[in-house]
Structure 1
Amino acid sequence: MFFEMTIQKRVTNINEGHKWYETLLKKKPDIIPHEGFVEWEIIPGCWLQVAEGIPSEDSGPLRLAVKDIEAEQKRIVKELNVEHFEIYSRNEVNAKWGTFKDPWGNRVGFFEYLDKNEQDDRIKTILGLTKVL
């Protein structure tokens, strides 16, 4: 049984990485356990670790669910100077998504549920407001 997860992104300058991801996530880190390392609990049991080191090229993106992908796209293009990125959708997929890079080349992205009832159900489940079977 899995009950928690972490994903790590590496940056060449931890101070700049800390500031960039703090702006992206709109919150201060939950833990700074030691020099060169910061952590955010994005949702209960799901942690993003940012560590000073050599970024991994071509690793899969960390995609974060958002309620309004276009609004988040505008925000990070403005606040983080992220290059404008394409937002995609397909008829057989109940989401739209887009991927961009942080200043160290790590791939990050957003996705938005098209079915808002499904989105609300997922939020309730994650927050423990419904029983998971």
Structure 2
Amino acid sequence: MTEMSVRGLTIAVHAGHRDEALAFYCALIGRDPDLGPDPDFYEWEISPGAWLQLATGRTAITPSSFRLRLQVESIDSSVKILRGKGFEPSAVKRLPGLVAFSNLTDPWGNPLGLYEDLGVVPGV
């Protein structure tokens, strides 16, 4: 083989206290992690081959320089659900025909967000 064949990706987020971090990310994602191979390391398969990794128990955390956005089916419903759970997502911004998104941060300053792809018709 002369070319590299990328088949997946992982994105790691560093956070503080394990219980607080797990509570935050389980509430954000809406389920428990798929894997917990270490007492301070957890993983969710967000879509086939795409994993969110959570490294907890960190004491000196530099917030990520990138925004991790999670795709949702309905941005308005998802923002409402998060607000009901005590999250503080921003107002939804829309780029008609393209995307709608909302931003938030985790307790350690990591930039996060949700987005809805407005260019895709559900069920098609």
Question: Taking structure 2 as the reference length, what is the TM-score of the superposition?
Answer: 0.85
Match for residue 37 of structure 1?
A: 41
> The residue matched to 1:42 in structure 2 has which SS?
strand
1:56 maps onto 2:56 in alignment: no
Q: Which runs of 4+ in 1 moved over 3 A?
A: none
C-alpha distance in 2 between matches for 1:120 and 1:11:
36
Q: CA deviation at 1:65?
A: 0.9
Structure 1 vs Structure 2: percent identity of aligned residues?
30
Match for residue 126 of structure 1?
A: none
C-alpha distance in 1 between matches for 2:123 and 2:17:
37
1:78 maps onto 2:81 in alignment: no
Q: How does 1:1-133 map to 2 (within 5 A)?
A: 1-52=5-56, 53=58, 54-57=60-63, 59-79=65-85, 81-91=86-96, 94-117=98-121, 120=123
RMSD: 1.7
Query: Could you tell me whether the CA contact under 8 Å between 1:8 and 1:51 is conserved in 2?
Result: yes
User: Structure 1 regions of 5+ residues with no counterpart?
Assistant: 122-133
C-alpha distance in 1 between matches for 2:36 and 2:117:
32
C-alpha distance in 1 between matches for 2:14 and 2:123:
32
Query: Could you tell me whether the CA contact under 8 Å between 1:6 and 1:48 is conserved in 2?
Result: yes
C-alpha distance in 2 between matches for 1:99 and 1:84:
6
Query: Could you tell me whether the CA contact under 8 Å between 1:22 and 1:28 is conserved in 2?
Result: yes
Query: Could you tell me whether the CA contact under 8 Å between 1:9 and 1:55 is conserved in 2?
Result: no
Query: Could you tell me whether the CA contact under 8 Å between 1:30 and 1:39 is conserved in 2?
Result: yes
Higher helix content, 1 or 2: 1
